Structure 1
Amino acid sequence: MTAVPEWMRPPRPEGWFADDLDHLPEAPRHTELIDGALVFMMSPQRNWHGRLVTALTLALAEQAPPGIEVEREMTIRLDSRNRPEADLLATTAPYEPDRTFFTPDQVLLVVEVVSPESAHRDRTVKLRKYAEAGIPNYWRVEDEEGEPVVHAYGLDGPTRLYAPTGIHRNELHAAKPFTIELELDRLLPARRDRG
């Protein structure tokens, strides 16, 4: 049995804290913290996932009004024990080259593109944690026979729970967090070529 690398050992008996992620240069890319435990993206990323995240990033960045930045693969410091990595987010925070995370008050929208290994976290854990942190909008993008389908949620402020606002196939028209028009069935190259 191979010994566990020293950097994987929690620095204290109660586990990891959000700020610890900035001091783990040996950790794999896409390491996040959920309830004080490190979570690594261990399976290879599917081409569908990567292409869709890129296409959504470009489409949303093009439509974002001044003062809203669209970022990909950044963590959100929800609290001292949770720092999940969003596939994509829209934020009011200005660009800072050395930034390693955002805080919930800076985030308007989180988008998670579901992978087989992240399905449970994206559908339940992150859905709950982002709502409890007060992030106003959450999109979960599912793969339905190669087509992206967006399950959109809006925050009910008093309960700190998300309420479904729609399931979008082929097209998405949203007024929040800003006016967004997407042709979902044309985001991926294989789909655009059918045209």
Structure 2
Amino acid sequence: MHTQISAEQYGCWPEERCVGIEIVDGMVVVSPSASKRHNRLARLLANALDAAAGPDWNADTDFDVRLQDVPLTNRRPDVIVYRAETIDLTPTRPEHVLLVVEVVSPGSETTDRIVKVDQYAKAGIPFYWRVEQAATGVPIVYMHLRIARPRHARLDQTPAPAPAPAPPTIRRSHPHPISCNT
């Protein structure tokens, strides 16, 4: 029988144990090593987004984003654009993140095309880019915008706080036009 991992248990693990895995509903999901093409594409996207983001945002690759504490769900997107001021905060939370990018690989198609779109949107991450590696060699980027969830409050509770102000637009024209508007 498998046992769920708690946020506290995961927090005690050394970083090298956390590489190459995600935690979904408290269960460890092992990810195979990505191909060189996959890693290169993720790095090129991260570099372009980082250059376009300005001083308030960073773009990096391959670290945990904590989508929920109970049951623990940590995803490790290929590229993450996040608030620069949170660089030393662990774990990175959805409210720190503007955009996540997943490069689809053989074996991750259903998870990247269906499951993660929903998980990232429900967690409140505004933008999700899914990058398909086309046979022509030119990647195809699908952009998903989070659909705002209605805020609910019971009559005997304080209403949910207002959403944070919208993050700035990210634009880059070289080497390829990139624009990420809210």
Smaller-chain TM-score range? Answer: 0.7 to 0.9
Aligned match for 1:147, one of 115, 138, 151 = 138
CA RMSD after TM alignment:
2.5
1:49 maps to 2:38: yes
Q: TM-score, normalization: structure 2?
A: 0.75
Aligned match for 1:59, one of 45, 48, 72 = 48
Q: Which residue of 1 aligns with 2:125?
A: 135
1:88 maps to 2:79: yes
Say if 1:27 and 1:117 are closer, same or farther in 2 by CA, change over 3 A.
farther
Give the Å deviation of 1:122.
1.0
Q: Which residue of 2 aligns with 1:166?
A: none
Provide the aligned length of Structure 1 versus Structure 2: 157
Identity of aligned residues (%): 33
Residue ranges of structure 1 left out of the alignment (5+ in a row)? 1-8, 161-175, 185-195
Aligned match for 1:75, one of 42, 64, 73 = 64
Contact 1:74-1:101 within 8 A present in 2 as well: no
Equivalent residues in 2 for 1:108-127, closer than 5 Å:
108-127=98-117
For 1:125, the aligned partner's letter is V
1:157 maps to 2:145: no
For 2:67, the aligned partner's letter is L
Contact 1:78-1:103 within 8 A present in 2 as well: yes
Residue ranges of structure 2 left out of the alignment (5+ in a row)? 152-167, 177-182
Contact 2:55-2:84 within 8 A present in 1 as well: no
Q: Which residue of 1 aligns with 2:164?
A: none
Say if 1:96 and 1:158 are closer, same or farther in 2 by CA, change over 3 A.
closer
Query: 3-state SS of the aligned residue for 2:106?
Result: coil
Give the Å deviation of 1:180.
3.7
Say if 1:114 and 1:18 are closer, same or farther in 2 by CA, change over 3 A.
farther
User: In proportion to residue count, which structure has more strand?
Assistant: 1
Q: Which residue of 2 aligns with 1:193?
A: none
For 1:110, the aligned partner's letter is V
Contact 2:80-2:101 within 8 A present in 1 as well: yes
Contact 1:92-1:107 within 8 A present in 2 as well: yes
